[in-house]
Amino acid sequence: MEPLNVEHAGRTLRGVLHLPHPNPAPAPAVVLCHGFGGNRIGAGNDFVLLARLLAAQGIACHRFDFAAFGESDGDPADFSVSDQASQLKAVLAQLERNRAIDPDRISVLGFSMGALVAVLAAGDRPLRSLALWAPAGGRLNLPFWEDDWFRDQIREHGRADCNGIAFGQAFLDDLPGVDQFAAARRHQGPVLLAGGTEDGLMRAELIDPYREVWGDRLEEHWIEGMGHGFGTLENRDRMLELSVAFLLRTI
């Protein structure tokens, strides 16, 4: 594991790169994208575990913090989904220039809002494959984000508080223009979509359009009784197992 930071719009996006040892350079690579308010460690250390599992199978893995989260620079008031997609594309571009990485064999795995961002990036540049853990709904979730409680907080304090995570007007202004399904139509590779049967982000109106766009290129896995978080070590290990197996087949 070694530091790999990326400069984007005057901010340092801090991350680490796990390389296989020995490294059969150039190696295929996966970029991991955390969710809203998360970081490159992942919930319950899952991104660290996943990176180690992939490296042991000969796949490099880059974990990074989006701006304003984890250890990366940035102000939460400036956070938006489109800006995160731009950050991810900058990370991918730098990874392509790394001599240890095969630029034609790069995939992305994202959780929740990170999965939404992964789809948007895949619509703008080719990726080998996508692995999506419970992708966020983007503008389809506007009724939740546009609640008067959040808007009143932004008006009064310049930021809103969502379970201890700050966001600002930039996020709300950006969200109506986010169209993940248009981006999904431009991604030509295989896709893993995995989540829990009790996860509100896995409801039909958020998932059916992906089924229509990707058809038989979409591989779905549902874990019975799991919500938006893993809930149990068994669920976490199952998600890691599914993801590693998919990436080994598709990268």
207-222 per-position pLDDT tens digit: 999 999 999 999 999 9
Q: Decide: 115 and 172 in contact? Cβ < 8 Å.
A: no
Q: What is the Cα–Cα distance from 195 to 223, expressed in whole angstroms?
A: 6
pLDDT in tens, the chain (251 residues): 899 999 999 999 999 999 998 776 799 999 999 999 999 999 889 999 999 999 999 999 999 999 999 999 999 989 999 999 999 999 999 999 999 999 999 999 999 999 999 999 999 999 999 999 999 999 999 889 988 889 999 999 999 999 999 999 999 999 999 999 999 999 999 999 999 999 999 999 999 999 999 999 999 999 999 999 999 999 999 999 999 999 999 99
Q: Decide: 168 and 158 in contact? Cβ < 8 Å.
A: yes
Closest CA to 110 of 15, 34, 43, 203: 34
Superfamily of domain 2-138+179-250: Alpha/Beta hydrolase fold, catalytic domain (3.40.50.1820)
